[in-house]
Structure formats: C-alpha cells, structure tokens
Amino acid sequence: MRIKSLLVLFLSCFSLHLSAQQEVAAPKLYLNITVDQLRTDFLYEFSRFYGEGGFKRLLSEGRVYPNSYYEFENIDRASAIAALSTGTNPYVNGIVGERWLDRKTLRTISCVEDKQYQGVYAIAPFAPTKLKAITTTDEMKRASRGKSIICSIAPDEDAAILAGGHAADMVLWKNNSAGYWCSSTYYGLFPAWAAEANKRLQGKPAKWVPMLKPEEYNNFGEAAPSPFYYAFDGKNKIYEYKTTACINDEVNEMALAFIGGTEAGADEFVDCLSLTYYAGNYNGAPMEERPLEIQDMYLRLDRNIATLLDELDKKIGLDNVVVSLSSTGYVMEGGDDGAKYRLPSGTIYMDRVLALMNVYLSSIFGKADYVEGVHGTQLYLDTKLIESKSLDKKEVVSRSIEFLKMLDGVEDVFTIYNLGGMLSPELQYAKNGYNANCSGDIWLRLMPGWRVAEVKLTSVDEVYRTPVMFPIVVYGKGVEHKVIEELTPANVLAAEMARILRTRRPNDNCLRIFK
C-alpha cells in the first residue's frame, strides 16, 4: 500500500513539473549572434571596459559555456557558421570552408555560389544550395507553417547565407565593391527598410579611431602605444573596413532597421534575427602589433549588443526574447615571428608540392599530371587520367602518402581510404571536416607553427588559423544562469535552441544536449 502511495505521489509531482514546464511560453524572437573570431580569454580579459547591458548582462544572467570547441579541423568562418546552424559537421552539411576547388572546372568556388540566381545590389550570384543539412531557422519556418520571419545580416555573404538557412526571408551582406548592403534574387524582393538604411549609411564618413585614450586600455602590460586612425579610401577599402569595429556598427544599424521596419516579435510565431559581427585582427596584422585595435573592437561590440538588447526590450520586452552568443572558434594569426624567436615554424607552398608530387608519381606510373589541383592543404587527383591508364587509385594514393610524409612541416596525411570504419577520436576529428563532394582526395595536417601559402594571381597569402576556446551563451526566456566549465562541442547549440524554441532538431544534429 505504501509503495502505491509513493508511486501516486511521484506521478503527481512529475505531472506538476511537466505542467510548469509547459506553462513557459516560447519566446517571440530568437536573436542569434555569432562573432567571427571571438575568444573566451579576450572576452573576460577586457571585461573592465564593458557596461552593464551587453556582454556583462549575457554572462551574468545567461547559461555560459566558456570552453566550447568545434569537432573538426581547418575551421574557418563558413564551416563554423554552417556547423552552428545545422548542428552537424562538414562531413554531413557539405560546407568544408569558405571556398574549395570545383573538380569539373578546376576553379576555386565560393561555398554559397549558385549561378541560377542573381545579385541584388551586387553582381555575384549566391544562394544556400550547397548547404546539405537543415538549419535551426529552417525548422522554425517549418514549425510555424511559414509564418516565422527569418532575417540574417552579416558583413560577408557566406556568413549571412549560412546563418539564414534555406528558408530565410531576408539575407543581407555588404558588397565588397560599392559598399552597399546587398542580397540575392533567391530571397525575392529587397526589403524596403534595408533600402532606406542603405541610403543613410552611404553618406557616413568611413573612419575608425579609438573610443578611449591609449593609457586607458589594458595594452597587455605594455607601455601605452600611440592612438590609431584609419580612413578607408584605397583600392581594398571595403575589405579593410570589414576588419574594423566600424563594420559591427553597420551590422547593428541594419539590425535596428529590421526591428523598426518589420513586425518581428509581434505575434505568437517565433521570429529570428541572425547577426554576425567581427572580432578579429585589423587587416591581418598581428595582434601584438595592434593591441589597442582588438580591445577597442571588444569595447564597441559590447556597446553594440547593449544597444540592440535595449531596443528589443522597448519594442517587445526582453522577457519575450532568447539570445544565443557564439563564435567561429578560430583566430587568424598575422605575421611570422617563429624564426625570430627560434620557434618551430615554417611555410609550405602547395604549388610546389603539386609539381613535386607529379614528378614523383610520373617516375612510378609514367609521365603525366596525376594531381590536377590544390586548395589549402588539399590535393585533388585526376581520377579520369588514373582510370584511363588502368591504374589502381588506392595505389596512387598510397604512393602519394609516402612522398608527402617526407616533406618538412607535414605532421600527418589523410585520405578517405584511411578514414573508414571505427575510428579513434583523432581520426574522427579529421573525418568530420571532410566531405566527398568538395574535399580533396588527399589532405595534409601541418605541424604546429607551420602555415600554408596560397598562391594567387598577383600574390602569395600565408594562411594560419589557430583554433581557440570560445564561449556559447544562451540568455533570455526560460534560461537559468549557470556557468558550465566542461568542454562543450559547438554543434550541440542547435539541439538546445530546438528545445527552447519548441521545434525539431535539424536533421543529423548530434544527440547530445546541454547539461
């Protein structure tokens, strides 16, 4: 009898708990903030600059995961945002990077390129058709039977499009030539509120100066350097401008125009505003040479977020909003001072690797160009040539591995042939960043401190991305404050947001959820 009474009591409590959970209505707006190259250490290091309404509000009231990371290699802006949006890795979602080599044309293409569509206030044709997995915003659209308003705004087209997903209504980015905010015919008509904002922003002077006096910054323990002043009027002015705090101000102005010019948050269907900000180095310069710039970037970004949250509070109330803050999880390392300090370092030139590999393979299989292209640290074999010579592709790959492992700076070599079946965590990490539709047949992992030189028509760019721990913060309606120090994979954010927004998880989203 006692067991029966306890069971009834337990079921009653469980029922009350479920009822309490169900009484919490879904938010009216999801504000999805991704900051390119935001890092946990800097976020806390510069906290004395912050006001109460931006980063401090999110960190002190939200659920904070300061030690987040991506479960794949060669992270860049596009692959990171695709992973956040879909809750999957490049192996599933198809976005291995901002660009890759097209096997048919041997031309480097954008991850959002699609010639079926045309640009609006831009020439380049873009769409999310290369993204192979469903996103959080797609599920929001489906759950509301098309009623949710989905808008994505970012400095660059890949970030804007991948954060917006397939079903977005409005996706905007800044044109690299004329400087207009632009879009694609994939999304239909250009919104009137954005056209009006374009007119206002075109008349603004383009300059970046520090908000504070040099001695007021932390400066990482060094003597206060001279204040900076940047005006943008040269050939690459838009590219340079996008690496400053000024671009975040513009993103914010476009976001405020969206809030004021649409009915987002006005009905029972959850709407979404996705924003991408920038928090990397200025114009590729080493952070050590630009300590004021990076601090001013975080200071201004804190103000941007505070302004945005205050505006949302006025219009729909923050108790009707849920916010996520995340990062692309890497930093671009400028400069090359490894040799100066006698550190293990070096540069590998992939055009030279391609030439040497063809010579090596020709000595074994007969004279021919067996490697037809490279991109980053990936090599693409000429499969048709190998088949026409009746060669075993696995044998060609095996010989290639033998050669590549002898090169200075190469830590390991991967192919799809050695990434099948049950894998160790390290090999699974490599496989997660691979996709058969766009990755090379062979790809290299460089030793720590080494960088790859990408040869272009007029220059050689050395690329050196370093993964960093970054924060995931969820703040707002139905979220209790908690700091969880455990390592947190980035692709669980999609699962958590699905729970809060009451939608299905994106397809192929991992089964893990936040604690």
pLDDT score of 285: 81
User: pLDDT confidence of 478, banded at 50, 70, 90?
Assistant: confident
pLDDT in tens, 189-235: 999 999 999 999 886 667 899 999 888 887 665 666 778 999 988 78
Are 358 and 350 contacting, i.e. CB atoms less than 8 angstroms apart?
Answer: no
Q: Are 272 and 29 in contact (CB under 8 A)?
A: yes
Rounded mean pLDDT, 4-13: 43
Question: 130-184, pLDDT tens digit by residue?
Answer: 999 999 999 999 999 999 999 999 999 999 999 999 999 999 999 998 889 999 9
CA 200 remoteness from chain centre: 28
The answer to whether residue 434 scores a pLDDT higher than 80 is: yes
* Percentage of the chain lying above the pLDDT 90 cut: 72
- What is the rounded average pLDDT of the residues 440-468? 77
Q: What percent of the chain has pLDDT over 70?
A: 89
Q: Is the pLDDT of residue 118 over 60?
A: yes
CATH of domain 346-463: 3.30.1360.150
Map residue 152 onto helix, strand or coil. strand
The one-letter amino acid code at 189 reads L
Contact assessment for residue 94 and residue 133, using Cβ atoms and an 8 Å cutoff: yes
Q: Is 77 helix (H, G, I), strand (E, B) or coil?
A: helix
Residue type, 418: N
Alpha carbon dihedral 235, 196, 203, 227, in 10-degree steps, equals -80
CB 380 within 8 A of CB 372: yes
Give the model's pLDDT for residue 480.
92
pLDDT at 30: 98
Cα(195)–Cα(463) distance, integer angstroms: 36
pLDDT of residue 455: 62
Residue 293 token pair:
């710039």
On average, the pLDDT of the chain sits at 89
Q: 243 in the Ramachandran plot: left (φ > 0), alpha (ψ -120 to 50) or beta?
A: alpha
Q: Give the per-residue pLDDT at 335.
A: 62
pLDDT of residue 295: 93
pLDDT of residue 21 exceeding 50, the answer is no
CA distance 55 to 47: 8
**Quick one: tokens of 44?**
């806390």
Distance between CA 423 and CA 432 in Å, rounded?
11
Under the banding of pLDDT at 50, 70 and 90, the label for residue 334 is low
| Chain length of the chain | 515
Give the pLDDT confidence of 302-319 residue by residue, as tens digits.
999 999 999 999 999 999
d(CA 130, CA 466): 26
Query: If you average pLDDT over residues 489-499, what whole number do you get?
Result: 92
What stretches of 262-332 show up as alpha helix (H) in DSSP?
Answer: 291-315
Judged by DSSP in three states, 245 sits in helix
Beta strands in 310-389 (DSSP E): 321-327, 330-332, 346-349, 371-375, 378-381
Return the closest-CA partner of residue 370 out of 440, 317, 315.
440
Report residue 483 CA to chain centroid gap: 23
- DSSP secondary structure letters along 408-448: TTEEEEEEGGGS-SS--HHHHHHHHT--TTTS-SEEEEEPT
Least confident of 18-27, 375-384, 401-410: 18-27
**Euclidean distance between CA atoms 487 and 469, whole angstroms:** 9
Q: Kindly report the number of other CB atoms within 10 A of residue 228's CB atom.
A: 15
Query: Sign of torsion, CA 58 61 66 72?
Result: negative
8 Å CB contact between 416 and 427 = no
- The CATH superfamily assigned to 24-334+465-501 is Alkaline Phosphatase, subunit A (3.40.720.10)
Nearest to 169 by CA among 140, 202, 130: 140
pLDDT classification of 18: cutoffs 50, 70, 90: very low
Q: What is the mean pLDDT of residues 67-75?
A: 94
pLDDT digits (tens, 9 = 90+) for 107-116: 999 999 999 9
514 has pLDDT over 50: no
Integer-rounded Cα radius of gyration of the chain: 24
More confident: 19 or 237: 237
Per-residue pLDDT band at 14 (split at 50, 70, 90)? very low
Higher pLDDT, 29 or 123: 29
The dihedral built from the CA positions of residue 273, 279, 280 and 285, taken in this order, carries a sign that is positive
- Please state at what angle helix 77-86 crosses helix 157-164, rounded to 10 degrees: 10
- Among 146, 149, 229, which Cα is nearest to 193's? 149
Cα–Cα separations (whole angstroms), residue 501 to 262, 320, 483, 508: 20, 12, 21, 18
The helix (run of H) or strand (run of E) holding residue 394 is helix 393-404
pLDDT digits (tens, 9 = 90+) for 342-388: 778 889 999 999 999 999 999 999 999 999 999 999 999 999 999 99
User: Per-domain residue ranges for the chain?
Assistant: 24-334+465-501, 346-463
State the Cα–Cα distance between residues 504 and 120, nearest whole angstrom. Answer: 32
